[in-house]
Amino acid sequence: MKNLAMIACVSRDGGLGKDNDLLWRFPEDQKFFRETTMGATIVMGSKTFDSIGRALPGRENIVLSREEITADGIKVFHDRADLDAYLELLPGQKFIIGGASLYKMYLPEAEVMYLTEMDAKKPADVFFPEFDHIKYSTTILQTGDTNGVNYRMIKYTRKEV
């Protein structure tokens, strides 16, 4: 699929979240997420949507779920094939924003991943899927420190095969 990207903030061990909440929440990462995804299509699972609690403004919000979900500003798909067919028709960038099962499902097709990598670990119950770093070129977009923890925002671009 063209123009498919992923965006996430992960612990050193790939931890994404615990008890349906993010492990890391800090202004620089939130600003990066907002600026990177603004104007694009974002795709999430139902647990991610529940944790956000609303459609994010300035983006087309799509939820892939087996459940019936009714909320303003979102489109719901119950089948990956239907979702894929819809995404193929859309212009512009499409982002997988969580959760772990969607990251795993779409990892083989994602051309780009934007990962904020924290140089620490926290207890987690969901993880970003492991991937072969050698298959990607990396660009460090930003480095910093939040509450004494170093982070790097990295753009991973899949190398041509």
CA of 147: how far to CAs of 17, 30, 152, in Å? 18, 15, 14
What local confidence, expressed as pLDDT, does residue 83 receive? 97
Q: What average pLDDT does the segment 57-64 reach?
A: 98
Tens-digit pLDDT profile for residues 100-145: 999 999 999 999 999 999 999 999 999 999 999 999 999 999 999 9
CA angle 156, 158, 160 (to 5 degrees): 150
Percentage of the chain lying above the pLDDT 70 cut: 99
CA angle 99, 86, 68 (to 5 degrees): 55
User: Please, what is the average pLDDT of the chain?
Assistant: 96
Tens-digit pLDDT profile for residues 42-58: 999 999 999 999 999 99
**Number of residues that make up the chain:** 161
What local confidence, expressed as pLDDT, does residue 161 receive? 63
d(CA 74, CA 43): 10
Q: What is the CATH number of domain 4-158?
A: 3.40.430.10
- The domain limits of the chain are 4-158
- Identify the bridge partners of residue 86 per DSSP, sorted by sequence position: none
What local confidence, expressed as pLDDT, does residue 127 receive? 98
What local confidence, expressed as pLDDT, does residue 160 receive? 81
CA of 110: how far to CAs of 1, 106, 113, 137, in Å? 8, 6, 7, 13
Task: Tell me, yes or no, if the pTM score tops 0.85.
Answer: yes
Q: Where are the alpha helices (DSSP H) in 90-161?
A: 100-106
Confidence of residue 1 (pLDDT cuts 50, 70, 90): confident
